[in-house]
A and B are shown apart, each in its own frame.
Chain A
Amino acid sequence: MKYAYYPGCSPQSTTHELDVVTRKIAKALGIELVDLNGPACCGSVEMRVNDPDLFYTINARTLAMAERQSLDILTICNTCQLALTQANQSLKKNGELLDKINQTLSKLHVKYSGGVEVKHLLWILLTDVGPEKIKNKIKFPLTGLKVAPFYGCHILRPKEALGFDDPDAPNSLEDIIRICGGTPVDFPGKIKCCGFHNFPYDPMLAITLTGKYLEEASIAGANCMVTPCPLCFTMLDGYQREINQKLSSPVNLPVFHLPQLLGLAMGMRKDELMLKRNMVSPEALLRKIGHA
C-alpha cells in the first residue's frame, strides 16, 4: 500500500504534530507514504475564486507529481481533499481545460493525464487498510473514552465531488472510534462547519459556531472529540479557551487528530503522539482511562 503524501500547509506549520503522527501510524499500518518534491498549497476555496487558472495549474502540478510515480494521493486535511478533488475532477472531465493547463505546465516539462485519485486518510483506513487490519493493531482499547466525532465540511460536502459518507448521516469516524474501543457520541454539530475559512476576517463568527458544537458535544456526554481535519482541529482545540469565555457553561473537551486517537489505541506513547502540542490537555482524561 503506497501513496503520494500530501500534508498541506497546516500540518507543516500550526498542526505539525498531525504530519508527524500520520507518518507514524501509516508505518505501523503498512502504508508507505512517498513524499512529493515541493507540492504547493492547494489554494483552498480562496484561490479558486480569485485566480482559477493558478488554482488548476498548481493542483495539476501536484497531481502530475503523483502520476509520474503511478501513485494515488493521500491527504490529511478536509480542505486539501476537496480542492485537489475538485481540481482533479474538472481536469478529467474537461479536456479543453486539461490541454490549457498542460500548456502552462509544459514550461516546467510537466504533464498531467488524469490518472490519479485523491483520498483522505480516513477513507483509506476504512477501505484500503480495512477495519480488520486496524483491529489487529489495537493494543490499548480506549474503553471509557466517549468520543464526539467532528467531521467538518469539506470531507462530506459537496456529496457529488466527495461521496464517501452520506453528508447528512456519516458514520466513518464512528467506525474508527469503535475500532479503537471508544464510544461514539452523537451530536447535531458533528456535520457542521467550524468557520475556519472566515476566521481571518470574522473571528467571532468562527468562535461562535465552534462553541456551539463543543457545547452540544459536551451536553451529549462526550469527554473528548476527534476530527479528521487540521483546520477544524485548530478551531476546536486552539480556541477552546476563547470559546469558553462566550459559553454559559465552559467546556473542557480534549480534541484529538484522527491519527492521534488511532495511535493511542495502537499503544503509542503520549510523547510519540505529540499530545503536548494540543492546547486542551488530554492528560487527566488519559490517566482516568489508565493510558500511561
Chain B
Amino acid sequence: MKKVTAKVFRYDPSTDDTHRYETYEVPYEKGMRVLGVLMYIQENVDTSLAFRYSCRRKRCGSCGVLVNGKPGLACMEEAKGEMVIEPLPNLPIVRDLVVETTEYEERIQSISPYLIRKNQPEREPEILLPDDFVAVRPLNQCIECFSCMSACPVNGLKWEGFSGPTTLIQLARRMLDPRDDMDRIPDARQAGLEHCVTCYACVNACPVEIGILEGVIENIKKKCIEEEASVYGRYNKAWGDLIIKNGLINPFTLIRKVSTFEKLLGNVLIGIKFFLKGKISLKSKRIPNIDEIRTIRKVIEEEK
C-alpha cells in the first residue's frame, strides 16, 4: 500500500519544555489532503494530536498550517511523499498545530472592519453597479486564514508599526467600497503599509488567490497618494520626476530627495564608502533621447 510520511510538530506548553517532531506513516488515498493525514493520525495513532479545522473546503480559514515551510490550508494542500507539518509561525502555540490568533484578530479590529456610512444613499433601493465593485469583489474572498501573515517577511520580524497583509486586505475591503464614507487614510497610515517590501510572498501564499500586492496594497497606496498623505507618495513622486528629468534613476539623487535630514546624516559614512568605490556619482546619467520621455509625459498630461 502506498504511504505518505508526515513529520508533525508536537508541543504542549502546559507540560513540555520544548517542542519535538513525531513521524507518522499514513496510508495514502487518491486525492488525499494534509488534513486527511492529520485526521488519520488522530483517529488511528494518537488521539492527542491537536489541530483546527471546520469546513474542509477552503471556506472557513481555520486549518492554516505550514507544509514543508510554506503556509497553506491543510484541507487544500496535497498529501505527498515526505511532509513536515508545523503550526503557522510568529504566533503563540496553544498545542501542537493550534495557534493563538487573537493578536491578528485584534489588528483587524483596530481598523474598524465594517462599512461606515455617514450619508444616506440618494435613493432606496440604492443602485450599485457591478463596475463599482471590481476592486472590492476579490477581496471579499479573504477567509482570514493568515497564510499571508505567515509568509510576509516583515510580519515575521514583528516589525513595529506594520499590521500585516491580512489587516490591509480588510482595510482595503472598506476603503475601496463605494458605500463607505469613512476617511480611512489615518487607518492606512496606522497600518504601516509603507513597510511592505513588495516581495509578493503574500500573493504566493494566498490560498484564495487574492492579488494582495496589486489589488490591496497598491490600491491603498494610490488612495494615500491622492490624499498626499504619505512618505511613499513623496518617494513615488520623486521616482517619476527623476525619470522625466533623466530617463534613469540615480540612487544617490533618489535617496537625497526622499530622505529626512536625520536619515541622510545616518547614511553619510555609507555614502562616502560607495562614492570611493565609484558606486555613486553626484552627476546623474541621462538617456540621449530624453525629449521622447518628456513628450510622453506631456501627451499623457494633455489626455488627462
Give me the interface of A with B, judged by CB distance under 8 Å.
9-10, 12-16, 37-41, 43-51, 53-54, 57-58, 61, 104-105, 107-108, 153-154, 157-159, 167-168, 188, 192-193, 195, 197-203, 205-206, 208-209, 212, 238-239, 241-242, 277, 279
Contact = CB atoms under 8 A, between A and B. Distances in A.
A140 B285 CA distance: 37
A279 B153 contact: no
B21 interface: no
Contacts of A203: 263, 266-267
B303 A159 contact: no
A13 B220 CA distance: 32
Interface residues of B, number: 68
Given A38-B288, A193-B153, A9 B248 contact: yes
Given A44-B239, A205-B159, A238-B279, A38 B289 contact: yes
Contacts of A43: 239, 243
Given A157-B204, A200-B255, A200-B258, A49 B218 contact: yes
B254 to A, nearest CB: 6
B300 interface: yes
A208 B157 contact: yes
A48 B232 CA distance: 13
Per DSSP, chain B at the interface is: helix
Contacts, number: 178
21 contacts: A9-B251, A12-B248, A13-B279, A14-B279, A39-B287, A40-B293, A46-B240, A47-B243, A50-B240, A53-B300, A54-B296, A54-B297, A54-B300, A57-B300, A58-B293, A58-B296, A61-B292, A104-B299, A198-B194, A201-B258, A279-B273
A46 B250 CA distance: 15
B117 to A, nearest CB: 28
A192 B293 contact: no
Smallest CB-CB A-B distances: 8 pairs? A193-B199, A157-B200, A50-B236, A38-B287, A153-B199, A46-B239, A40-B247, A38-B289
A254 to B, nearest CB: 15
Nearest to A162: B200
Contact of A38 (B222, B235, B263, B292): B292
B141 interface: no
Contacts of B83: none
B265 interface: no
Given A58-B296, A192-B153, A193-B199, 9 more contacts: A9-B249, A13-B252, A44-B239, A58-B293, A104-B299, A154-B200, A157-B203, A202-B195, A209-B154
A198 B199 CA distance: 11
B280 interface: yes
B200 A158 contact: yes
Contact of A198 (B195, B233, B243, B254): B195
Among B69, B213, B248, B295, find the residue whose CB has the most chain A CB atoms closer than 10 A: B248
A67 to B, nearest CB: 16
Contacts of A48: 214, 218
B90 interface: no
B114 interface: no
A153 to B, nearest CB: 4
Given A13-B250, A38-B288, A192-B201, A108 B295 contact: yes
Interface of B: 68-70, 153-154, 157, 159, 194-201, 203-204, 211, 213-214, 218, 221-222, 225, 231-233, 235-237, 239-240, 242-243, 247-252, 254-255, 258-259, 263, 266-267, 270, 273-274, 277-281, 285, 287-290, 292-293, 295-297, 299-300, 303
A104 B304 CA distance: 12
A14 B280 contact: yes
Given A13-B279, A47-B243, A50-B225, A41 B248 contact: yes
Contacts of B213: 158
B40 to A, nearest CB: 25
A188 B277 CA distance: 31
Contacts of A238: 270, 274, 279
Contacts of B153: 192-193, 195, 209
B157 A279 contact: no
A33 B255 CA distance: 31
Contacts of A239: 270
Contact of B248 (A40, A108, A154, A242): A40
Contacts of B292: 38, 61, 108
Nearest to A57: B296
Given A45-B198, A49-B218, A57-B300, A16 B258 contact: no
A158 B218 CA distance: 15
B251 A10 contact: yes
A63 B41 CA distance: 55
